[in-house]
Amino acid sequence: MGDGMSARKLILARPRGFCAGVDRAIDVVQIALELFPGPVYVRKEIVHNRYVIESLAKRGAIFVEELDAVPDGAVVIFSAHGVSPEVRRQAAAKRLQVIDATCPLVTKVHLEAGRYAKEGLSIILVGHTGHEEVVGTMGEAPGSIQLVGTVEEAERVEVPDPERVGVITQTTLGVEDANVIIDVLRRRFPKLVTTSSGDICYATQNRQTAVKMIGADAQLVLVLGSPNSSNSRRLREVAEATGARAFLIDDASEIQAAWLEGVTCAAITAGASAPEHLVQEVVDFFEELGVKEIEEVEIVQEKVTFVPPPELAKEMEKRGAAR
Ligand code: SF4
């Protein structure tokens, strides 16, 4: 590969890859496949990663876009991105046995939306149009939530009472992009209600902080993740903003020789839904090219874990599954 390849050093960001919400969601599908004798349906991609989906589908999970593709009474898992109350109503009408793998940090945002709506606030959701998490959160208070994705939209958004506005965000935004938008909203609505810690999750923040650090030393940053993974796309953008060339790849086979031209130091990270073995394959790739110096830069140790959804835990107990 590429004559211009002169990389001598490889830096690995840490934390990278699976977060607690993704770990839990994948576990939920695996446990459900072992536990239930009949078919297990999953509404939408359980997490946004091609490899994860392919491996769970191979083990028997049936992925569907909407609940009308699920037979009445069947077992269905909701993805980590969450669902709107309307989807829960459809599931109840079809008497589906629901296992909810919504990440607890997404649920937290849903609860905030519900609380703000109850308090009579107009809600502004900062997020990306069409993303599943955004669709689910908007559904919590369809009459009260408006979506804002850019600074321009933040400048234009109108509310009935500028003194009664609350803001929530998608969990996987770029931290700095979100801050700029929220600053505009705060200027326009000085009494803007926010939560003290914000809604961008710990995993998104840590991965962005880590990639910023490694991006400063590398000319090339490779981000493992699928194109529909929001947090992976943001990681690529944050890496690029450090001045490095940054690419989002599903696996090592997508690396192009031209990207390596003149690169003496390359860096790798992975989005919250990308499995570690894909990172190791990229490490192997660089080792085969002769890179000997490999350094891992850890900015913080993550210790977050989430318990399984109560409905699954109950089912495990009922069926005497030892886990
Ligand atoms: S990226 Fe954050 S919000 Fe999404 S599943 Fe992971 S921990 Fe939860």
CA 48 – CA 220 distance, rounded (Å): 24
Residue 146: how many other CB atoms lie within 10 Å: 14
CATH number assigned to the domain comprising residue 250: 3.40.1010.20
Percent of the chain with pLDDT over 70: 98
- Strand, helix or coil for residue 98: strand
Which range marks the domain in which residue 132 is found?
A: 105-188
Q: Is residue 133 part of a domain?
A: yes
CA 271 – CA 212 distance, rounded (Å): 14
User: Is the CB of 171 within 6 Å of ligand 1?
Assistant: yes
The answer on 237 and 169 residing in a single domain is no
Q: Does residue 226 register a pLDDT over 80?
A: yes
- Strand, helix or coil for residue 99: strand
The answer on 287 and 224 residing in a single domain is yes
Ligand 1 centroid – CA 59 distance (Å) = 24
Q: Is residue 14 part of a domain?
A: yes
The answer on 289 and 210 residing in a single domain is yes
The answer on 171 and 157 residing in a single domain is yes
Sign (positive or negative) of CA dihedral 123, 126, 129, 133: negative
Total count of domains within the chain: 3
The DSSP annotation for 102-137 comes to --HHHHHHHHHHHHHHHTT-EEEEES-TT-HHHHHH
pLDDT tens column, 46-70: 999 999 999 999 999 999 999 999 9
Q: Is residue 48 part of a domain?
A: yes
Q: At a CB cut-off of 8 Å and minimum separation 6, what does 180 contact? A: 151
Helix (H) / strand (E) element for 294: namely strand 293-298
Q: Is residue 261 part of a domain?
A: yes
Which of 24, 27, 173, 231 to probe ligand 1 with, by most ligand atoms within 8 A of CB?
231
Task: Give nearest CA residue, ligand 1 atom 7.
Answer: 21
Q: Does residue 3 register a pLDDT over 50?
A: no
Q: Is residue 35 part of a domain?
A: yes
CA 142 – CA 295 distance, rounded (Å): 48
The pLDDT score that the predictor gives to residue 4 is 57
The answer on 98 and 119 residing in a single domain is no
- The predicted model scores a pTM of 0.96
Helix (H) / strand (E) element for 61: namely none
The answer on 127 and 170 residing in a single domain is yes
The answer on 294 and 207 residing in a single domain is yes
The answer on 140 and 152 residing in a single domain is yes
pLDDT tens column, 106-151: 999 999 999 999 999 999 999 999 999 999 999 999 999 999 999 9
- Tell me the average pLDDT of the chain: 95
To the query of whether residue 133 is one of the catalytic residues in this protein, the response is yes
Task: Give nearest CA residue, ligand 1 atom 5.
Answer: 21
- Catalytic option among 132, 133, 140, 315: 133
User: Is the CB of 28 within 6 Å of ligand 1?
Assistant: no
User: Is the CB of 126 within 6 Å of ligand 1?
Assistant: no
